[in-house]
Structure 1
Amino acid sequence: MLVGGSVSEEALVGQVERAGGFQAVVFLHVILAKLARRGALRYLVQGPVGTLATLEPLSPRFELSSQPLASVRRLRLSRFAHVRRDGEALVLESPRAHGRVVLGHAAALALLAGLAMPTTPDAAVERLAPHEVPAALTLLELLFRTGFVLAAESDGSTEEERRPALALWEFHDLLFHAGSRRRLYGRRVGGTYRLAGTVAPLPAVPPPSEPAIALPRPDLALLARSDPPLVEAMERRRSHREPGARGVTLAHLGELLFRCARVRQVRPGERDEESSRPHPSGGARYPLETYVVVGQCEGLEPGLYHHDAAGHRLEQRGGMTPTVRALLADAQVGSHPPRVLLILAARFARTSFKYESIAYALILKEAGVLLQSLSLAATAMGLAACVVGRGNPELFEHAAATEGVAESSVAEFAIHGCTPEGRPLAEPHSRP
C-alpha cells in the first residue's frame, strides 16, 4: 500500500514503464523490495467482496520468492503455519515466515482449509465460488512465494519433512524459539510494563502461611572454608538416579534450600518490589517458588510443602495424597522414585508484569540457573541428586491448589539420598 491509498502492482509497473522504460521498471522493483523489507509496504489481495487478505512484511529479511506458483504441481500448507486472533483480526503466521497475512474474508480461510492435504493449485480453489477464484489464486501465489505454502512431493511431504534440520523441529518448540528471540517490526520487546496501571503487581514474596516448620540454617562462613572448590564441584557433578547410600534429612534440605533458594533481601524496585537471592533473575523479578515433595526424609512427614524463601520455613500444603504420591512416581527415572522431589513453580505474573515477548523465556532461563545451583550445591554436600527432564503440571496444580495460568511447575530436581562419599553436614546448623 502506498501513501494516499493503494495501487495494483500491474498498474504501477505500467505507469513507470510508460514514463521511464524497462530500466525504470527494474529500479521500481528494487525500491519496492526495499520498502517491503523495511515494513513500509503491504500487499492487498482484492476480490469482488473486498479485501481477501493483506500481507504485512515484519522483518528486514522479508522477500518474495522468485519461484512462481506455476512451477509446482502439488502444494501443501506449512506445518508451522497457524491462524490466531489478534485484536479484531484473524492472522496467519509462521515462525519460519518474515511476514504475516491478515485474513479479511471467509474465502481465505476456506483456501487454507483446502491446503491441509497435498493438492494442486486448481483443486485448492475448487470449493470456492467462481467469482472468488481469481483473488484466491492471487493469494495462493503470495502464500507460496512467502513460504506459508510449500511444494509437496507425491507422498505429500514437503521440505519440512525431508530436511533433517526442519524435520527435527516440533511446532511448539520452533514457535516458542522464534517468538521469544526474533525482532519483528511493531513488536515490543523487554521491560515495557505493558499492563502497569491495569494489573496489580504481585509481591516479591508470597504471604507466609501456617502451619510451617522452621528449617536449619547452615553456617555459610564454615561452608566457605570446608566446601570443595567450584572447579572440583563442577567436575564431580553427576546425575544420580538410584537410591543413595544414606537417606535425606531435614538438615540436608535446610542447607540445600538456604544455599540456593532463600530470599536475602526485599527492596523497592522501579515500579514494585524486587528481591535478592543467591541465583540471578531477569530484572530481579524472581518468579520461582520451590515446592518440596517428601517421600522419605528424616525429620519430616511425607507430603507436600512450600518453601517460604523469606522465612526459610517449610509450609505444609498436604499429606501423602494419591496426587502427591503420583508426583514422586512421575519423577522416577531409575529403579525407585526420589526420596525428595523439589518442584520449581513460577508465579508467571512476577515476570510478565515487566517483560513483554520474552517473559516465559526468562523464566525458563532462571529455572536452568537454579537447577545448576542446586546441582553444584548437592555435589558439594554429597547428595545423590539429578535434574528431572519432564514434569506434570496438571498433577502439581491439583496437589498445590494453584491456577495453572497463574502458577505452575516449570522444572523438577530429584534427591535420592547421599552418595557413598557424601560428607557429614557442616556444623553448627542453627534455627531462626
Structure 2
Amino acid sequence: MTDTTVGLIGILCLFGLLILRTPVAFAMLVVGFFGYGLLEGMRSASALLLTESYSAVANYSLIVVPMFILLGNISSVAGYSRGLYDAAFAWVGRFRGGLASASVIGCAAFSAVSGSSVATAVTLGKVALPEMKRLGYADSLATGSIAAGGTLGFLIPPSTGFVLYAILTEESIGRLFMAGILPGLMLMVLFMAVVWLVSTMDPTAGPRGEKVPFRERFTLLMKAAPLLFVIVASIGGIYLGVFSPVEASGIGAGLVLLLALVQRKLSWMTFKEAVFGTLQTSAMLYMIVIGANILNPFFSVTHIPAMLGEGLGAMNLGAYGTLIVILLAYVVLGMFMDGLSMLVITIPIVFPVILSFGFDPIWFGVVAVIVIEMGMITPPVGINVFVVRGVADNVSLGTVFKGVTPFLLAMLLGLILIILFPQIALIIPTTMFG
C-alpha cells in the first residue's frame, strides 16, 4: 500500500472510532500511533508517542486552559454568573424578549471568564430557563437563546478553541484572543436582534418584564461588578500589553478566588467542586492536544495535506471559492462531530491550503471558530442543543432545534460580514501588535 492509501484508511478508521463514541483524544492517539508505526516502524512510533506527549503537556502556553477553566468554575459556584444575569435583566428586561436578551448578554459576559461553550450554556441555562418559564416565554425562544448564546464561549476570549488553534498552527494566543472580541460582540448584538424580531412577530413568545427602578438596576450592576472587574483586568491587561495571556489567566483565577473568599461566597465543598471540575476538563483538553500531536505527524508522512492543497488548486476555484468549499465541509462535519474534534482533526489538513492562498491565519482562526460554533447548534448532533435540553424541563429536542434556527441565520450573516470585512476580526490585534 502507498503512504496515501494508509492515510485514507487511517481517516476512515478515525471517523469509525468517533461513530462508535470513542473519546476523540484516544481515537486520534490510536490512529496516529499505529498509522505512523505502520509507515515508519513501531520503534519510531514509540519514540514519537514519548516525545510528543511530553512536549504537548510541557507547553507553557497551555497553562491558560486550567487557569481560565478554574476562573469560570469558581465564578459559577460562587454565584457570580447569577449576578451577571440579574444585572443584564435589570437593564434590558423591560423590552420585548428582554429576558432572552439578558440571557444572551449574560452568556457573552460569562464567556469572558469560562472559555467554554458547554459551561456557558449549562450555567446560564440553570439560571435563566426557570425565570423565562415563569414569565411565560415560548420554549423555543427560551432554549434557543441559551443554546445560541452559549456558543459565544467558543469565540469570546479566553476561548479554548483559540488556544487549541494557536497550538496546532503555532500562532499567537494573544492575537487570537484579541481577534475574537469584536466578532463575539457582533454576534451578541445579532442574537439580541433575533430575540427582538421573534418577540415582535409573536409578542406572546417573549413578553416584556417588569421595569426595574434605576436605583435597583445600579445596585444589581454593582453586585456584578467584581466579576466584571476580573474580566476587564484580565482581557484588558492583555490588550494593553501589561501581561501575557498566560499571566492574565493566573491573575484572573487568583482575583476571582480572592474575591470569593473575601465575600464569603466560597465554602470548602464548593471550592473542591470547582477544582475537581477544572481537573476533569483540563485533563480532557490536554489529552486532545496529545492525541493531535500524535495524529499530525501521521498525516504529514501520508502527504494528504499536500495532496488536498494540490487538488483544490487544480479545481481553479480561486481563493474564495476554495474557502467556501472548506467552510461547507466544516458545516457538514459539524452535523456529526463536536467542535473540538473538528478543530484538531481538520486544522492540520486545511491550514496549509489556507496559507497557500494568502489568507491571514488569525482571520481564518476566527472564521473557523464561528463555523464550528454553528455546528454546536446544528442537527443532528448540536452539542449545545443537547446540553440545554438536559437542563430544560419537558422541552423536546425538536423545539430546541426550532428555537436555534433564526440564531443560526444570524451567525451566517455574521460569518458573511467577517469574510467581506476582515478588519472586524483583525483591527484589534493589528492595532495592538502592529
Compute the TM-score of the two structures, normalised by the length of structure 1. 0.21
The structure richer in strand per residue is: 1
**Whose Rg is larger?**
1
Structure scoring higher RCO (CA < 8 A, sep ≥ 6) equals 2
Compute the TM-score of the two structures, normalised by the length of structure 2. 0.21
The structure richer in helix per residue is: 2
